[in-house]
Amino acid sequence: MESGGLKPMDAEQLRENAHKMVDFIADYYKSIENFPVLSQVQPGYLHNLIPDSAPHHPESLQNVLDDIQEKILPGVTHWQSPNYFAYYPSNSSVAGFLGEMLSAGLNIVGFSWITSPAATELEMIVLDWLAKLLKLPEDFLSSGQGGGVIQGTASEAVLVVLLAARDNALKRVGKNSLEKLVVYASDQTHSALQKACQIGGIHPQNFRVLKTDSSTNYSLSPDSLAEAISRDLTIGLIPFFLCATVGTTSSTAVDPLLALGNIAKSNGMWFHVDAAYAGSACICPEYRQYIDGVEEADSFNMNAHKWFLTNFDCSALWVKDRNTLIQSLSTNPEFLKNKASQANMVVDYKDWQIPLGRRFRSLKLWMVLRLYGLENLQGYIRNHIQLAKHFEGLVAQDLRFEVVTPRIFSLVCFRLLPPHNDEDHGNKLNHKLLDDINSTGKIFISHTVLSGKYILRFAVGAPLTEWRHVNAAWEVMQDKASALLARLSVE
């Protein structure tokens, strides 16, 4: 590119270069199966491949693309590979990509309504659409006291509602009572809640992590919640926040929302539901039952960027009472004052989130909903769940393995059975098996620990995954298990 008289946004140059970039990305998707799914580079690998300082003179796009091919892609773990089965998925799609492209293209910063009315208004409309697909209670719609907002992540979502709940509780019990406020969750709740408590100034000893076990399939027992609350009340503490999960990170456990919500309500607590992964499935009537009881919740969150074809990031959060959130997070400096905001005629999303600036993320979700439609989206979810069910069947047929927790959505938790019932040995064996599997680069799976058992997680949900990939993945796992067990029997 020319150095003199820089034209950083020339329409024709954009057209030409963006076409090249789209070609590059389309070719990437065509050849994605050729890469090792889990990047096989060593820490610091890039240091010697990239110059120590930025260039003085412009370089060509082709040179940069060559570097991406040779130096960057080897250091990429391919989340969009059909052979990616780790953690939870983080979906990309043509529709999501187009929305992302448009958002980058317009590059607005929509913190107040006035800074781009369409960004605020489309976000409200699209989140109302999604709330209706999920059959969320009407209180969550923007037509009443509530409404939806797109956060970057589920972690930000739980943080903002925790802050709102904290301030609301302090208003009730007195602002000097912060150290008495207690948060409740299960030992399966995502660590995002712990981080929110740390940021929110909740006393570390007032974070109740209630134990779960296989007797409830790792869901939170209402009795154990009620007991913990009653103990805390007896010693003068103030229960104020409960986080339940639908589809826990380790094993997709589903907390009983109705029973938990009733307990939270009768104790004047804020009830947050984290359905970051499994929320997407609830657009299908047959899975909607898993969020029955959401009527009792004050806030509900699902990550459209996980399993809903919306490119990262897009975490949808709904609250029943937007004013609580706004009272906690609103600021009103002179330089942001404007007629529409002052007259209270508009939503200013800056007051629903941590940062000021925000992207036009609703474009992505809007594209996904419009270009695919509900029926296709339901089919997409159902297909992944069928694939996971198929995988579960394959595991069950191999007597060397066991399925550890019942599969509900598209995650299968399984392990090699410990030889001679020696759990310690079993844990080491499964850890080794995981490393052996992932170092092939053919597939990528992850692990968790439940009741002291080291467990392998097979999460179906990448947009390109088909039956053949699941079958091939199982072959890799069986081969590696056979090799590992054969080595053991020789030792």
Binding site for ligand PLP (CB under 6 A): 88, 153-155, 190, 192, 245, 247-249, 274, 276-277, 303, 315
- The least CB distance from residue 236 to ligand PLP, in Å, is 31
- The least CB distance from residue 305 to ligand PLP, in Å, is 7
Q: Which is nearer to ligand PLP, 123 or 348 (CB)?
A: 123
Sheet holding 299-303, edge to edge: 147-151, 315-319, 299-303, 270-274, 238-245, 181-186, 207-210
Q: Which is nearer to ligand PLP, 91 or 115 (CB)?
A: 91
Q: Provide the token pair at 448.
A: 């968790």
Q: Which strand (E) or helix (H) includes residue 171?
A: helix 154-173
Q: How far is residue 364's CA from residue 232's CA, in Å, rounded to a whole number?
A: 44
Q: Which is nearer to ligand PLP, 101 or 276 (CB)?
A: 276
Q: Which is nearer to ligand PLP, 78 or 190 (CB)?
A: 190
Q: Are strands 315-319 and 147-151 parallel, antiparallel or unpaired?
A: antiparallel
**Between vectors from CA 341 to CA 340 and to CA 346, what angle results, nearest 5°?**
75
Nearest to 403, CA basis, from 216, 214, 246, 247? 214
- The least CB distance from residue 131 to ligand PLP, in Å, is 19
- The least CB distance from residue 312 to ligand PLP, in Å, is 9
Nearest to 117, CA basis, from 311, 326, 338? 338
Q: Which is nearer to ligand PLP, 317 or 369 (CB)?
A: 317
- The least CB distance from residue 231 to ligand PLP, in Å, is 27
Q: Which is nearer to ligand PLP, 35 or 277 (CB)?
A: 277
Sheet holding 446-450, edge to edge: 401-403, 411-416, 453-459, 446-450
Q: What DSSP string describes 80-123?
A: TSTTB-SSS-----HHHHHHHHHHHHH----SSGGG-HHHHHHH
- The least CB distance from residue 448 to ligand PLP, in Å, is 11
Q: Which is nearer to ligand PLP, 232 or 298 (CB)?
A: 298
Q: How far is residue 414's CA from residue 274's CA, in Å, rounded to a whole number?
A: 24
Q: Which is nearer to ligand PLP, 154 or 387 (CB)?
A: 154
- The least CB distance from residue 274 to ligand PLP, in Å, is 5
Q: How far apart are the first and last CA of the chain?
A: 62
Phi, psi at residue 239, to the nearest 5°?
-65, 130
- The least CB distance from residue 248 to ligand PLP, in Å, is 6
Tell how far CA 18 is from the center of its chain.
29
